[in-house]
Amino acid sequence: MINAIIMMLVVGALLGAVLGIAGKVFYVEADTRVETVTGMLPGYNCGGCGFAGCSGMAEALVNGESTVDQCKPSKPEAKEAIKQFLTENAK
């Protein structure tokens, strides 16, 4: 019984260490531009642009797969601000 408990602790520690190392090695840093553009969109998550919500639209905008004109409820000033932000912060 004691051997089984010790074995489970060793296996758990090894798997925990492997997961911890994998988390550091395979870490992918998120693009902060997506969060910024999401904050600039109206936040209605209406789907009028063809995406599931404003975060999907923001990701498509940052990746160049969409245009800000597809966002129907966004005001013209906000659209211009998004265009300017994407122009100044292109990767």
Chain segment 20-69, per-residue pLDDT in tens: 999 999 999 988 999 999 999 998 988 888 898 999 999 999 999 999 99
Class of domain 32-88: mainly alpha
Both tokens of 29, joined, read 């840093």
Give the Cα-Cα-Cα angle 60, 89, 50 (nearest 5 degrees): 15
Domain positions in the chain: 1-28, 32-88
For CA atoms 77, 80, 84, 90, the dihedral sign is: positive
Chain segment 15-28, per-residue pLDDT in tens: 999 999 999 999 99
pTM: 0.69
Euclidean distance between the first and final Cα of the chain, in Å? Answer: 58
